């Protein structure tokens, strides 16, 4: 083996767009995934773990927001000239598995999967090229009961990780409703696929662009602040008007609910609301204010489906979509999931091209401060929907499927922003080394502590400077330092230093108090474990 | 967007050398990792999760058994022309992290990491291109106490996952001993690096090649059964004789122990053994058989270090190695880890070139049947050692480090082979669908069960054929089917079918017994949860 020429040292750097996770960051995510898995398991979902690597052929071209195949993935050519790539989500591998094992798997097949996915995209603040997803999908059920179940499960999952009811909402919509509206606007048919794509992407940007922006993209096009022009769908004013009925649906529904809330006395009875809804168009409404938010909310789903029914008109697919939404709301309500947790919301369309029916999204409704100190609502942490065509790619046979993906890292960030993050940062008891030659004694101490289930370490650095050992204990957030010098060893005792109490005293004690060293006790060597337990409050 | 030409359907296949893990396979591995993490945590190790992707520059050329850089990894070129690759182990990323965050991390830094690694190698039966590792390392401690600690922790980890004491042994050796023997054989110095490499690889193959095979590789070379010739190190007979003293060390130690076991009366006192050891060379030994295996075993470490001291002769590095082994044995013994769990064993050298001091390996000692039904001992499931130069690559400064890697998949296979694998395959209670229009009722039932913490599902396939629903419940290993047809609904009851009892009865019942349907009960709808609980034995 010839000796290498001296080469410059390698850089110790994570690749651009990737990051490392330390200690409590790892623990917090794991705790969250464990809790979510508990919910998924209770709902009958089984775990599936596919490998990180798939053939590009199997992954297909379904990467969100990307039109060209293989763009946005990390891929390479195998020695057999096959192209392989890292998975960009957990749905594409599921579709592959559902096709590959279709004769062995139960049908319907409920599975969950958790793990990292990779995107070869520009990284930014809080946006990395590897991140975790946590998915649950039901493959092989055409019933909207499957969609309803996933919405209920998503709601349970959010609550179990620490998002209280009221701080989140699961929004449900149906692509068929939008397809119905497009049909009404004359955008049905294979030759209108491009226009429908533009419409879908435009609507998905409503939060960022506002009504006017979407309207522009539906028409001639839109010039953004930088002056760049995005070509629009080129629709006529009447087509745009029809689509805008859908885009602005939430506002219309809200206005109707406001009207209902002002109806004298009618709100508590379903009959009253039904009468109102039946007679809605053009009817005069009372002005008197009635119930508060909660009571109004109960009627949201009914008002929303009524409104959507009006705007899909005679479209068969549109009506089917509205009926499915009504079924979902009824099935959820039967399990006690009312609109305080899960609501029909036409503003949810989900950017992904592959959704074919119900789509859903979980939004956190509390406000946080952004980087610039401005209040904003936290927004979406999970989303999904029905995608009946993904398995068909492989088998030629349509297999109905629906599922959700929880953005674990965003959810962790949300909990941290609310100060509800896990904080298991309990450091170990540190056994210090006063006498290098008696390392076996210190190892015996740490061994006893560990046997007793107490997290403990012996100091393994250079023991010369005792101050360094205490600094180390501090950095490790250690609750107790155990000390035994030659004198103590002779007397058969050890000293325990309560580092938590010590830190408190250091902040406030007078010199006299300090000298008393109340945070320090001497105990017989034989009582080590018991004394440490006591100091830890165990 | 132009329409694509019709393309052939993609194949639904995992890439070659990769596999999928389903249900209990995922659960069992997770349970094992959780238990090992519990031990690592108790020892004061903190979790670290690096990304799957590293720069090739940072990974370096340390891939085991491979001389050329980047061989054996999955790599690709970034858009900035940087080469990236999937990590092939968890040690290389740790070295990068230790260098990158050297000012922030505590020192010594104890960390553990668990996750998949990837190797672009030929896959075979039970050998995949993605597999799990579960590592613990201490960076920044030159003390052999760090090595001893890892050996103790490895022992605890094996026991916590279900390998009982006596079914495994952690073997410890020291590269410095081998280096000392090489020095004695005249193989020191930079110009002998190639020979030393051949010697190391030859010794690492002792299990497969036997003494004669290793001897041949140390000399002119070896022709294997296929007729292929491997060039040897070309050493002289006297050099080979010296090295073979090391290679066959275990046999010598065993013989000496056998002799000791025959010493009259001396075995129980350390003095007796010491006298024996001191007078060993050429001394006559008594023939009377004394203590059994256990008492002999106690002296193994002492006999082994004595033997090694003899064969390293005057070599300074060799003597240092022996002294380190003695220290490790003493430190472990102080914590109660005797040679029944951790032994000094010169046969362990570990193939990796980067080890610089103590090396260790955990071996399962029980026998299993291989594919051909032959008994063989299960072998190694974990290994590691001291590698003081990995961080130096980045910083130029030597940073002492030591650590272990547990082969999780092999360990799972071992437990499965012993019938000790986790078996949490409890399927969900299945609520069947007798009447499609009353889906909301069934959803309400399943909702109640889930709220009560019971794993439950409603059947979401096409409900037409009731037989399919029961077949589904069977495939799901469901313990109970809940049934409510129109009659039951009118009466306000549900039927619970005990599928476990039912399966038992089906095997043995007479027709009369069968007709009684003892595995089936009718309960009031309101008692659903309580009755299911009772049937589940909760």
The nearest alpha carbon in chain A to B60 belongs to: A10
First to last CA, chain B: 59
pLDDT band at A96 (very low <50, low <70, confident <90, very high): very high
Domains in chain B: ranges and CATH: 429-535 (3.40.50.800)
pLDDT of B98-144, one tens digit each?
999 999 999 999 999 999 999 998 887 778 999 999 999 999 999 99
Q: In what order do the strands lie in the sheet with B168-174?
A: A21-22, B46-49, B109-118, B130-139, B401-407, B375-386, B358-369, B168-174, B342-344
pLDDT on residue B359:
95
The mean pLDDT value for A130-138 works out to 96
pLDDT of residue B260: 72
B4 labelled binding-site residue:
no
C-alpha distances out from residue B116 to B41, B319, B524, Å? 20, 39, 50
Helices then strands (H, E): number in chain A? 21, 19
pLDDT at B273: 54
| B355 among annotated binding-site residues | yes
pLDDT at residue A230 in the model: 85
pLDDT tens digits for range A391-445: 998 999 989 999 999 999 889 988 888 776 655 568 999 999 999 899 999 999 9
Which residues of A make up each annotated binding site for L-histidine?
A: 89-91, 119, 133, 137, 350, 354-355
**Nearby residues of B10 by Cβ (< 8 Å), 6 or more positions away:** A55, A57, A58, A60, A393, A394
- List the end-to-end C-alpha distance of chain A, in Å, as a whole number: 59
B126 — contact with chain A (CB < 8 Å)?
Answer: no
Is 90 exceeded by the pLDDT of residue A205? Answer: no
pLDDT of residue A290: 28
Angle at A174 between CA A173 and CA A179, to 5 degrees: 135
Confidence of residue A370 (pLDDT cuts 50, 70, 90): confident
Q: What is the mean pLDDT of residues A115-129?
A: 87
Q: Note whether A44 contacts B: Cβ–Cβ < 8 A.
A: yes
pLDDT digits (tens, 9 = 90+) for B157-193: 999 999 998 899 999 999 999 999 999 999 988 888 8
Query: Which residue bears the tokens 């179940």?
Result: A149
CB contact under 8 A, A51 and B116: yes
* 3-state DSSP helix/strand/coil % of chain A, to nearest 5: 45, 20, 35
Q: Could you tell me if B1 lies within 8 Å of chain A, comparing CB atoms?
A: yes
The residues near A13 (Cβ < 8 Å, ≥ 6 apart) are: B55, B58, B96, B100
Q: How confident is the model at residue A298 (pLDDT cuts 50, 70, 90)?
A: low
Q: Considering only residues 227 to 286 of chain A, which have any Cβ-Cβ distance to chain B shorter than 8 Å?
A: none
Chain A partners within 8 Å of B14 (Cβ):
50-51, 54, 96, 100
- The ipTM is 0.87
User: Among residues A432, A437, A527, A435, which one has the least CA distance to residue A487?
Assistant: A435
CA distance A75 to A87: 9
- Between the alpha carbon of residue A288 and those of residues A253, A280, A303, B136, the distances in Å are 19, 17, 19, 69
Cβ separation of A458 and B149 shorter than 8 Å? Answer: yes
Per-residue pLDDT band for A68 (boundaries 50, 70, 90) equals: very low
**Which residues on A lie below 8 Å from B474 (Cβ)?**
none
Residues 417-446 on A with a CB inside 8 Å of B are 427-428, 439-441, 443-444, 446
Contact flag A58-B428 (C-beta cutoff 8 Å): no
Quick one: pLDDT at residue B285?
33
Residue A514 confidence class, pLDDT cut points 50, 70, 90: low
Does A29 have pLDDT greater than 60?
yes
On the 0-12 / 13-18 / 19+ scale of CB atoms within 10 A, B159 is: middle
Task: Locate A399 and state its tokens.
Answer: 């297999």
HEC secondary structure over B178-209 = HHHHHHHCCCCCHHHHHHHHHHHHHHHCHHHH
The percentage of residues in chain A with a pLDDT greater than 70, rounded to a whole number, is 86
Beta carbons of B84 and A15 less than 8 Å apart:
yes
Reading phi first (left if > 0) and then psi (alpha if -120 to 50, else beta), residue B186 is in left
Q: pLDDT tens per residue, chain B (538 residues)?
A: 445 556 688 999 999 999 999 999 999 999 999 999 999 999 999 999 999 999 988 987 655 444 444 578 898 887 777 889 999 999 999 999 999 999 999 999 999 999 999 999 888 777 899 999 999 999 999 999 999 999 999 999 999 999 998 899 999 999 999 999 999 999 988 888 888 888 888 888 887 888 889 999 999 888 888 888 888 888 999 999 999 999 888 888 888 877 776 665 555 555 555 555 544 433 333 222 223 333 445 577 888 888 999 999 999 999 999 999 999 999 998 888 988 889 888 888 776 667 889 999 999 988 877 777 777 778 889 999 999 888 998 999 989 999 999 999 889 988 888 776 655 568 999 999 999 899 999 999 999 999 999 999 999 999 998 889 999 999 999 999 999 999 999 999 999 999 988 888 777 767 676 666 678 899 999 999 999 999 998 8
Contact B354, B390 (CB under 8 A): yes
Query: Which residues partner with A231 through β-bridges?
Result: A221
């Amino acid at each position: 083996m010839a000796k290498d020429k001296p080469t410059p040292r390698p850089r110790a750097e994570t690749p651009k767009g990737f990051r490392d996770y330390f200690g409590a960051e790892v623990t917090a995510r794991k705790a969250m995934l464990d809790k979510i898995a508990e919910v998924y398991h209770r709902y009958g979902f089984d775990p599936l773990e596919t490998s990180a690597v798939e053939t590009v052929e199997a992954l297909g071209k379904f990467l969100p927001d990307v039109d060209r195949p293989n763009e946005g993935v990390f891929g390479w050519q195998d020695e057999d000239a096959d192209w392989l790539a890292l998975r960009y989500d957990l749905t594409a591998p599921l579709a592959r598995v559902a096709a590959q094992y279709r004769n062995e798997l139960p049908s319907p097949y409920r599975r969950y999967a958790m793990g990292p996915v990779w995107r070869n995209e520009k990284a930014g603040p809080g946006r990395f090229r590897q991140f975790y997803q946590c998915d649950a999908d039901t493959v092989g059920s055409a019933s909207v009961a499957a969609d309803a179940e996933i919405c209920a499960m998503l709601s349970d999952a959010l609550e179990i990780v620490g998002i209280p009811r009221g701080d989140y909402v699961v929004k449900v919509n149906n692509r068929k409703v939008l397809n119905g509206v497009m049909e009404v606007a004359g955008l049905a048919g294979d030759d209108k696929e491009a226009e429908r794509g533009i419409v879908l992407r435009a609507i998905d940007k409503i939060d960022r662009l506002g009504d006017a922006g979407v309207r522009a993209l539906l028409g001639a096009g839109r010039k953004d602040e930088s002056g760049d022009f995005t070509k629009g769908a080129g629709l006529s004013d009447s087509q745009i008007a029809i689509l805008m009925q859908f885009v602005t649906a939430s506002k219309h529904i809200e206005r109707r609910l406001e009207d209902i809330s002002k109806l004298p006395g009618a709100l508590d009875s379903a009959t009253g609301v039904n009468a109102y809804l039946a007679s809605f168009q053009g009817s005069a409404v009372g002005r008197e204010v009635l119930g508060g938010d909660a009571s109004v909310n109960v009627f949201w789903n009914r008002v929303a489906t009524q409104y959507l029914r009006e705007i899909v008109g005679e479209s068969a697919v549109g009506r089917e979509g509205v009926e499915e939404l009504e079924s979902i709301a009824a099935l959820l309500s039967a399990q006690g999931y009312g609109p305080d947790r899960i609501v029909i919301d036409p503003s949810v369309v989900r950017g992904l091209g592959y959704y074919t029916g119900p789509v859903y999204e979980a939004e956190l409704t509390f406000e946080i401060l952004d980087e610039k100190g401005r209040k904003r609502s936290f927004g979406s942490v999970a989303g999904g929907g029905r995608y009946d065509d993904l398995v068909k790619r492989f088998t030629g046979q349509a297999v109905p499927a629906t599922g959700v993906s929880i953005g674990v890292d965003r959810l962790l960030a949300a909990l941290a922003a609310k100060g509800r993050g896990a904080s298991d940062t309990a450091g170990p008891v540190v056994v210090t080394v006063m006498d290098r030659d008696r390392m076996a004694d210190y190892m015996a101490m740490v061994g006893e502590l560990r046997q007793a289930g107490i997290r403990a370490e012996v100091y393994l650095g250079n023991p010369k400077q005792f101050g360094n050992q205490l600094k180390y204990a501090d950095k490790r957030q250690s609750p107790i330092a155990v000390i035994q010098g030659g004198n103590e060893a002779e007397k058969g005792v050890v000293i325990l230093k309560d580092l938590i109490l010590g830190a408190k005293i250091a902040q406030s004690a007078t010199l006299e108090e300090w000298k008393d060293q109340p945070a320090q006790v001497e105990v017989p060597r034989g009582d080590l474990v018991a004394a440490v337990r006591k100091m830890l409050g165990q």
